[in-house]
Amino acid sequence: MNRGFLCCTPFVLFIALLLPHSSSADVTPSSDAEPPSVASKPGNAGNTAKMLEHFRQMAASGYHYEETRVLELVEAPWHGSGYLLTDTDGTLVKLQLSPERIIMAITAQRMYYYAAAQGQRYSAPLDFSDPMIAQVGTLRAVLQGHTAELYADYDIAIDQRETEWLLRLTGKSSSNAGLLLEVSGDDAKPQRKIMIRQPDGEKSEYRMLPASERQVGTNVARLLAEAAGE
């Protein structure tokens, strides 16, 4: 598969984002009870489900993001920005606006990539056995608050002190060993941060602020249709 199709490791969501590797549309909300495998650090004032649900509710329409990516063999970090949008059907769209406009989308069945300036359009069925695509599912789970999708493949630790909090996901399966994902924020501030470190040392960081469809100027359905060439 073209590396550009998955160049947003993590769109990799995320981001976003895996386990029983079902689509988010098939996932029922998890209960407030934490599975025994979840590790809570001192100062934890809530469980994973509550934390991610709050994260999701902060931006029902989506986020504006600033992305910094550090590649193992590239001296200067890569920078990009745009919007991460999600809908109630479980579709996740990454609309990159800088340095060039690129649409990347994941639905319940397929992934899409469209770079108009380069004349490139790809789509492929979801295959969560591919570690990079599994990370897309992880990012989607984080953005949409589906904690049940995370427990099978990640050790989860929570650290919360006053209004600041951090959720750390550490890969524990054979397919994601060495992968680290951190979601952090401050309940007193709207900004959220997602950091993903790949086993090979590649690191991506998203700084995100809630954004409405009006701010974005489009919506998930229109972007998905554009990416699919409809």
Residue 136, domain extent: 3-228
Say how many domains are in the chain.
1
- Supply the pLDDT for residue 34: 42
Let me know if 204 is exposed, middle or buried by CB neighbors in 10 A (0-12, 13-18, 19+): buried
Residue 147: per-residue pLDDT: 67
CA dist., res. 230 & res. 226, Å (int): 6
CB 169 within 8 Å of CB 161: no
Read off the DSSP letter of residue 143. H
The pair phi, psi for residue 30, each rounded to 5°, is -80, 160
What pLDDT score was predicted for residue 98?
95
Residue 111 DSSP label: E
Q: What is the CATH number of the domain that holds 25?
A: 2.50.20.10
Has this prediction a pTM greater than 0.75?
A: no
Q: Mean pLDDT per 10-residue run, the chain (230 residues)?
A: 40 32 31 39 49 58 88 85 85 92 89 92 82 70 69 83 87 84 86 88 90 80 93
